[in-house]
Structure 1
Amino acid sequence: MKCDVAVIGGGPAGATAANELAKAGLCVALLERNLNNAKPCGGAIPLGLIEEFEIPDELIERKVTRMAVRAPSGRVIEMSMPNGYVGMVRRERFDKFLRERAAQSGALLIEAKVQAVKAHDSGYKISADGNNQGVTEIEAQYVIGADGANSKTAHELDFPPNEFKAVAIQQRFHYAPELSRYENLVEIWFDGEVSPDFYGWIFPKADHIAVGTGTEDTRGNIKQLQKRFREKLNWSVEPYYEEAAKIPMHPRKTFVKGNAMLVGDAAGLVTASNGEGIFFAMKSGKMAAHTLLNVLAGREKSLAKYEKTFRRTYFPIYTGLALLQWLYYRNDRLRESFVAICEDKHVQQITFDSYLYKKMVPAPLWVQAKIVAKNLYHLAIGH
């Protein structure tokens, strides 16, 4: 079959790109290897994403307004979000909705595993196996790779490698009386026994609590870290489901090549420090689609505009969070300092305001000076 655009990967990034292109009238093939797949993911999305992408209320399983951070010593700082909330979604439901919306807009949804992506004449030829029913050949003028951290698209088209990957594990627990504290609470553990370079999380969903951890340390045993996390939680309930996945922690050196673009995890668009990916996946999918539409309409010269716009818009956030991780996630003394800083009300306000709409929110100079002074103080004394 022939189409204008082949989007490889039906997660938030790919489904968003396919939806935008199909709405504009292009012939779009959206390939997803497993329509029942659910990526291991905390599933936290900010209010800005919910509003911009018109996410239905029934998909938001929890609207969490309370958060706690826990230091290695056991010190806990609790805080409340006065304006807005963190939306909690379950990826199997969320991704399905996004794919179905793209299909309703006119995209052809194909369940198939991509075997090869090759440059062909003025476009690309994609070979895909639909559930062992035989190979389907798709010819497309443009390709958008949205197929995750181990992107087949990126490998086949010789994009720069995704050099830095973390591994994350998550377990699901049914609600029980001893877990009632977490019905409207996100809790983050900064503890070297739980993760040597990241954090552990407890996220509430509609019918379960998600508990997980991650690490970039290839020497670490992720199952042992999760086991230690559970030991420290000291819950009597047992998990009923476990999932794990690789997460790209640094953007690729480039994510546009010829008539091919990478979006979401395939481009490495997960932020350091907090590991957030859904927002940036969907924004990159939308940006890539709109850039392509502008190129076809003659308003832009090349697809390189997509990468340039994304970097200009969001890389200050990536850089800031990478610096934060480097400063505070290296040992428990520094993690203790980080949690101490979180007690400051101005730090909380700036953090929440920036999170809701993914914009660097300026603060008065005296507040900035106070926060800098507190950082220096806590980095020096370690608590």
Structure 2
Amino acid sequence: MTDDKRYDAVIAGAGPAGSAAAYVLARAGARVMVLDRASFPRDKLCAGLLTWKTTDLVERIYGMGPQALLARGVIEHRADRYRIRHKGMTLACSDLFHPFYFVSRRVIDAWFLDRAREAGAEFRSGEVVTAADATRGEVVTESGDRYQGRFLIGADGAASVVRRAFPLPRAAFAANMGMGLECQVRRDDPDITAAHPDLRENYPTVYSGFVRTGYGWVFPHGAHAVVGLGGLASRKGASMRREFAAFLDFLRLPRRFLGCCKAHLLPYGNFLTHPVHQQALLAGDAAGLVETLFGEGLYYALRSGELAALAVLSGLSGKDACEGYLSGLRQDIYPELSGSLRLRQAIFFSLRFGPLPLWCLLRLGGERLVEMAHGVRSYRWLRRRAAGPGRAG
């Protein structure tokens, strides 16, 4: 292998996890190569909601807060209210102490990658990784090229190729792999006038009752709304499609939207507790690092990418990168994922008896539950974990 294909770190995947890792590494002076099968900007299915903890992390890493991102068009919508329904019954509807922001993954993922490239990371688009060697820190692409790093970061999504190089039972990871289906509804679509009024609101609505373990959503994105359904409906995608069709019927949307919906894998409780092996680390969806109640992934992708980069930097200086990465995950990520999983199990079990238990939880929890979603409080017993943004929003 020629020296021009040897790096301090090779990163498979240029989504938020891979780009955050590349940015942190390149800014510290490491030689980094990022590989992705796609050319950017590219479309990516995602509801696109940013909580306070996500915008706070973006500001800390990149030095740019939500107002600056709004001005640059990276954030496309701000919402100051939220609603939770069980089918047609409103369980909660209130103002937010801090806004939810909404983004297009096509736009924000390209923005993250641009920051990494500006910091000095190299990027190759159209490179489909077909095999990985965790011991050598090496990947092989469809074109036959080999790229080797002192460390390899697998940030290549839920169907990760790098993960296959790990001694992991594939069935265990697949057991809690969920599915999401989404479509977009333009605000000027003539069919929206007869549709459910939630589609015309400027704030998000989350729905229970349409899938046994999961939820539906209508999220505003400026000129359009994203309508989706995700969770562990069954082992068969056809069942989820039927449930999405029922959700569209509830929203009084014509079936043509079912024909244009797209599906994606959704890690939903299958996070890996040991996503390291030899010279390789897994980040983001590749490690299943997605919050297990609402399916929030952007924060955990960015944060795990940052933690992987910091671990690699310590490894380049002679320390144990794998243990450093695991230490960071145990401190900041695993407690939230395990706590949200326990809460999810309790909520969806209680919904078998109707919406009353969830209504009671929302009434008793009040704003503390919203603080939990934003990351101000922990999913573990609602303990405060951050000072938060204050009431100014």
Give the TM-score normalised by the residue count of structure 1.
0.85
Deviations 1:68-107 (A, max 9, x none): 111146244211102x111101111111111111111111
Q: Which residue of 2 aligns with 1:15?
A: 19
Q: Which residue of 2 aligns with 1:222?
A: 240
1:45 correspondence with 2:50? yes
1:71 correspondence with 2:86? yes
Structure 1 distance, partners of 2:84, 2:263, is: 23
Preserved contact between residue 199 and residue 225 of structure 2 (Cα < 8 Å)? no
Preserved contact between residue 200 and residue 213 of structure 1 (Cα < 8 Å)? yes
Instruction: Write out aligned runs for 1:159-174 (5 A).
Output: 159-161=168-170, 162-163=173-174, 164-174=176-186
Preserved contact between residue 18 and residue 155 of structure 2 (Cα < 8 Å)? yes
Structure 1 distance, partners of 2:361, 2:217, is: 16
Preserved contact between residue 159 and residue 254 of structure 1 (Cα < 8 Å)? no
Q: Which residue of 2 aligns with 1:380?
A: none
Deviations 1:50-74 (A, max 9, x none): 2331352221111111111111462
Preserved contact between residue 23 and residue 115 of structure 2 (Cα < 8 Å)? yes
Deviations 1:310-354 (A, max 9, x none): 12323222222112221121364445034412552x623112222
Q: Which residue of 2 aligns with 1:137?
A: 146
Structure 2 distance, partners of 1:33, 1:17, is: 18
Gaps of 5+ in 1: 364-383
Structure 2 distance, partners of 1:110, 1:6, is: 11
Preserved contact between residue 198 and residue 218 of structure 2 (Cα < 8 Å)? no
Q: Which residue of 211, 214, 221 corresponds with 1:198?
A: 214
Q: Which residue of 338, 345, 369 corresponds with 1:319?
A: 338
Mean Cα deviation higher: 324-333 or 244-253: 324-333
Preserved contact between residue 72 and residue 332 of structure 1 (Cα < 8 Å)? no
What is the RMSD computed on CA atoms of the aligned residues?
2.3
Structure 2 distance, partners of 1:167, 1:26, is: 36
Structure 2 distance, partners of 1:323, 1:115, is: 36
Structure 1 distance, partners of 2:138, 2:329, is: 27
Structure 1 distance, partners of 2:264, 2:134, is: 29
Q: Which residue of 280, 283, 291 corresponds with 1:271?
A: 291
- Deviation (angstroms), 1:245: 0.6
How many corresponding residue pairs? 352
Distance change >3 Å, CA 330–CA 354, structure 1 → 2: closer
Instruction: Write out aligned runs for 1:299-314 (5 A).
Output: 300-314=319-333
Structure 2 distance, partners of 1:222, 1:333, is: 18
Q: Which residue of 179, 202, 209 corresponds with 2:225?
A: 209
Matched residue type, 1:59: V
Preserved contact between residue 153 and residue 282 of structure 2 (Cα < 8 Å)? yes
Preserved contact between residue 19 and residue 112 of structure 2 (Cα < 8 Å)? yes
User: What percentage of residue pairs aligned between the two structures are identical?
Assistant: 24
Mean Cα deviation higher: 110-119 or 349-358: 349-358
Structure 1 distance, partners of 2:134, 2:334, is: 30
Deviations 1:170-212 (A, max 9, x none): 0100014635764421101111xx2111110111112210011
Q: Which residue of 1 aligns with 2:139?
A: 126
Preserved contact between residue 73 and residue 336 of structure 1 (Cα < 8 Å)? no
Deviations 1:98-150 (A, max 9, x none): 11111111111111100111256xx3332113xxxx33221211100001111
SS of 2:89 mapped into structure 1? coil
Matched residue type, 1:97: W
Matched residue type, 1:139: Q
Preserved contact between residue 351 and residue 357 of structure 2 (Cα < 8 Å)? no
Give the TM-score normalised by the residue count of structure 2.
0.83
SS of 1:225 mapped into structure 2? helix
Structure 2 distance, partners of 1:348, 1:89, is: 26
Preserved contact between residue 117 and residue 157 of structure 1 (Cα < 8 Å)? no
Gaps of 5+ in 2: 385-393
